Structure 1
Amino acid sequence: MGERLPVHIRPARENDTADMLEVTRQIWEGHDYVPLVWPGWLADPNGGLLVAEHQGRVIGLGKLSHLAGDDWWLQGLRVHPEFERHGVATQITEALVEEWQRNGSGTVRLATSSQRLPVHQLCERLGFVKVGEYSVFVAPAADEATPAFLPTSLDFRPLLDSESEEAAEFALNSPTLSLADGLMDLSWQWAPPHPALFQQAIQRQQAWWWHGRRGLLAIYIDQDDEDIEPPRPFIEVAACELNQLATLLLNFRRLAASLGYQKAGWNAALHPDLMPILEQAGFERVWEHALFVYSKS
């Protein structure tokens, strides 16, 4: 790392938008999601959106978001390429952690690519612990070739508004949750099951009891790569007995087809006991790298 660059960390303002666009312009070949969510981040009354300013110019940013209960998420850590490796990301992250400590409690998490060694080192310096590794698994939406042992009709019943607490309790006690490192995937954000998260899924009409309430499924629609892939349903949480998980995943593929999608996905934990189940259900890993999730309490 080069010499630490002095920056002024402050809350973001609407007139920082032009600098934000310059900071993110080269990320993911111009397909960074931050410009899309920036207006919502500015308007978010919970958490904080901070920028790093140097000589009157915004050169970095980061976002603290409240997910549910005592669970918080750090995201959108960006530094302009001209100023990387000068401690700017460290100063932004330190400020976001301080913001969380002042205004929140419980646990704060973040995700980063398995290739981002400097971020891993930063997390360790700030007292974060790696709690999970995830990668992308995809299967075709099931068709008439679905195995004969599956029921002929979809075995799902939508969750009711009044069932969010029961669903969270069911998921927390499910043996399959350990295969996901105890976390739900909230569209590339991870947190433990909580009634508020199931309430959101119920309102989206994307949460179901399965197989006579012997299982539970919640999903979201992944639209981040619309220019490359059409939208696909991804699993938020799949809860059931371990010996029924492959069947639940096969039913999820049929559900995806019934909803009009061509593929179904899961940002699944790289747990050795989960890999053969995914293979049995027809899911293949489509990303050679992984996301590391770090946690601090």
Structure 2
Amino acid sequence: MPNTDAVNDIVIRPAQPDDKPVVMEFCQHTWKDAEDYIPEVWDKWLADPSGQIFVAVLQERPVAMARAVKLSQQEGWWEGLRVDLQYRRLGLARVLEAHISQYLQQVGVTITRCCVATWNTAAHPFMKQQGYHKIDNYILHRADATDSSTPQISRLGLESFDAARSLVHQSQSNRLFVCRGAKWQALTAQVLRDRLNQGLVWGIEHEKVLQSVFLQSHLESSNEALWVGCIEGREDSLPVMLSGMCHLARQQGYEAVSGFFPKREPILNALQKAGYQLLPEEEFWIYEKSLQQK
């Protein structure tokens, strides 16, 4: 076991392709009873210009990693914190988080967020110690793709911008959405326009009035599920939309619909009515920290 002075010799640098074998080796021991997703996303992350993987190196060997992503001009995200089992409890997580915050500041980010599973009990005090505060919690749900008899949802265009924006503003949410994978971003007016232009917003209308909207996102690690960015709308319309999403998943060749849903009563009731299954032990807290200079 390395002594605590070893952290003084740590060098933080951008990850390189040659780091992969060593990082994959220590990622095998991230959790005792589950496989790590890092092997599935490493190559994609390394090639993604919006993000940067950093590794902590000791004696020329990577012993920890984390990734920073710039989601918008002001918003950052960090994820994938992993520490070699032999080098835990040396403060490497703190060193990596500080480096990532500095990096995000340098690229113009003023607010950063991350997602932590509730079962990861050691991480929650750490987040508070680093200046983060909890802003919301989400629960992962899934439903199989089906040939549904419910009214088909339709793709919305820019002509629906005002109606869609109104539904979003009427919601009780913090107006974040899952832009990709497990990354939350502010659902601004410009983001909504962009998603409408990309054909990634779906809706249900009744008597020509928009009742609910669904923003489609995508996974980074697989393509098996229609991935949920967010769903907003009238409470009585939400189960219909959720059922329609199962039909849309079948049309688009997905096996299922899956995603993070805010832990709020109307959404949870709608998920139950539409037959979605709560995935066990899959509740996540979203943390946020300001990086603005004081």
SS at structure 2 position matched to 1:242: coil
Partner amino acid, structure 2, of 1:246: P
Residue of structure 2 in register with 1:296 after alignment: 289
Once residues 164 and 54 of structure 1 are traced to their aligned partners in structure 2, the CA distance between those partners, rounded to angstroms, is 54
Partner amino acid, structure 1, of 2:214: L
Residue of structure 2 in register with 1:218 after alignment: 215
TM-score normalised by the chain length of structure 1: 0.81
Shift in Å at residue 15 of structure 1? 2.7
**More strand, by proportion:** 2
Once residues 142 and 120 of structure 1 are traced to their aligned partners in structure 2, the CA distance between those partners, rounded to angstroms, is 38
Once residues 49 and 251 of structure 2 are traced to their aligned partners in structure 1, the CA distance between those partners, rounded to angstroms, is 38
* Runs of 4+, deviation exceeding 4 Å: 28-31, 162-168
Give the conservation status (yes or no) of the 8 Å contact 2:202–2:213.
yes
Match of 2:261 among 247, 261, 268: 268
CA RMSD of aligned residues (A): 2.9
Once residues 11 and 167 of structure 1 are traced to their aligned partners in structure 2, the CA distance between those partners, rounded to angstroms, is 44
CA deviations 1:158-184 (Å, max 9, x no partner) are 244x56976874464142xx24x4321
Give the conservation status (yes or no) of the 8 Å contact 2:177–2:184.
yes
| Alignment of structure 1 residues 193-212 onto 2, 5 Å | 193-194=187-188, 195-196=190-191, 199=194, 203=198, 205-211=199-205, 212=208
Give the conservation status (yes or no) of the 8 Å contact 2:216–2:229.
yes
Q: Which moved more, 1:2-11 or 1:111-120?
A: 2-11
| Alignment of structure 1 residues 1-297 onto 2, 5 Å | 3=4, 5-6=6-7, 7-27=10-30, 31-143=35-147, 146=149, 150-151=150-151, 154-156=152-154, 158-160=155-157, 169-170=165-166, 172-175=168-171, 178-179=172-173, 181-186=174-179, 187-194=181-188, 195-196=190-191, 199=194, 203=198, 205-211=199-205, 212=208, 214=210, 215-222=212-219, 224=221, 231-297=224-290
Give the conservation status (yes or no) of the 8 Å contact 2:54–2:65.
yes
Once residues 224 and 108 of structure 1 are traced to their aligned partners in structure 2, the CA distance between those partners, rounded to angstroms, is 22
Unaligned regions of 5+ residues in structure 1, if any? none
Report the CA distance shift for 1:52/1:202 in structure 2 as closer, same or farther (over 3 A): same
CA deviations 1:82-129 (Å, max 9, x no partner) are 111221111111111111222223321111221212211111011101
TM-score normalised by the chain length of structure 2: 0.82
Shift in Å at residue 74 of structure 1? 0.3
Give the conservation status (yes or no) of the 8 Å contact 1:77–1:89.
yes
CA deviations 1:216-269 (Å, max 9, x no partner) are 22223547467xxxx121221112223322222122222223334443223112
Partner amino acid, structure 1, of 2:229: E
Give the conservation status (yes or no) of the 8 Å contact 1:113–1:292.
yes
Report the CA distance shift for 1:155/1:291 in structure 2 as closer, same or farther (over 3 A): closer
Once residues 97 and 161 of structure 2 are traced to their aligned partners in structure 1, the CA distance between those partners, rounded to angstroms, is 33
